[in-house]
Amino acid sequence: MKNNLYIEKVKNHKKIFTNLEEIYEKKWKWQDFFWNKNPIILEIWTGLGNYFSKNVNDNKQKNFIWMEITYKRCFKTAEKSLGKVKNNDNSQNNLELKEKNDNFVLVKDYWEKIPEIFDKNELSETIIFFPDPWDKSEKTKKRRLLQKNFLENLYKITKKSWKLFFKTDHKEYFDFVLSELKKTNWKIVFKTYDYEKEGLYDANSITEFEQIFRGQNLKVNYLEVER
């Protein structure tokens, strides 16, 4: 098997948690961990971190917890957020740190574990951009992140009146999520099948996957739901 150079780098990184015991003992203690009462934003699936590193730098009054599973993506996201590596494209501004970024941590764990990581009312917002659509068959569709059980769990750990933000280029998945939301208590406050048409597109604030879809001229579906 090919040696993954990022395993050791991630295990020794002060901004990435890999030890599950250490992660799960923070449940209901995330505010203490950040040493402030600022809103906690969960971002699931950071990818290579272009968007997420910018977000953490532009929003010092918020704390960010990111979940990602691959070693390389965890490492790249953390290093970009610390201003140590550049973005791998020219379509976004590279991060210029205004001050030290202490308002984030990466959790290398599966999204399925959110009930073990967060307690009721612990989160303010959740951001999920371009999750895998698992669209090959009915069997693979069962692996989709956004479905009733996950949405209900997320509802419990989100504070009242705060939101979940979701983007996908996959229209069928988007419609599937809308129908799953109807089975939950989430309130849809905004939805569009083309968020660029709504004037919401910002070329300096997109993820790597969105950059790919831009090249293919695909429309991006966007949703905001409130607890």
Applying CB under 6 A, which residues contact ligand SAM? 45, 47, 67-70, 73, 110-111, 129-132, 207-210
Q: How far is the CB of 191 from ligand SAM (least distance, A)?
A: 19
Q: Token pair 């695909």 is at which residue?
A: 218
Encode burial over 101-136: b for 16+ CB neighbours within 10 A, e otherwise.
Answer: bebbbbbbbebeebeebbeeebbbbbbbbbbebeee
Strand 221-226 relative to strand 187-192: parallel, antiparallel, unpaired?
antiparallel
**Measured from the CB atom, is 51 or 186 closer to ligand SAM?**
51
Q: How far is the CB of 160 from ligand SAM (least distance, A)?
A: 26
N-term to C-term CA, the chain: 45
Q: Give how far Cα 14 sits from Cα of 24, 26, 61, 93, 172, Å.
A: 17, 16, 21, 25, 39
Q: How far is the CB of 198 from ligand SAM (least distance, A)?
A: 19
**Measured from the CB atom, is 47 or 186 closer to ligand SAM?**
47
Q: How far is the CB of 72 from ligand SAM (least distance, A)?
A: 9
Q: Token pair 């607890």 is at which residue?
A: 227
**Measured from the CB atom, is 102 or 112 closer to ligand SAM?**
112
Q: How far is the CB of 34 from ligand SAM (least distance, A)?
A: 21
**Residue 219 three-state SS:** coil
Phi and psi dihedrals of 75, rounded to 5? Answer: -65, -45
**Measured from the CB atom, is 26 or 108 closer to ligand SAM?**
108
**Measured from the CB atom, is 173 or 186 closer to ligand SAM?**
173
What token pair was written down for 123? Answer: 């989160």
- Nearest residue to ligand SAM by CB is 47
**Measured from the CB atom, is 70 or 192 closer to ligand SAM?**
70
Q: How far is the CB of 111 from ligand SAM (least distance, A)?
A: 4
Q: CB–CB of 119/28 below 8 Å?
A: yes
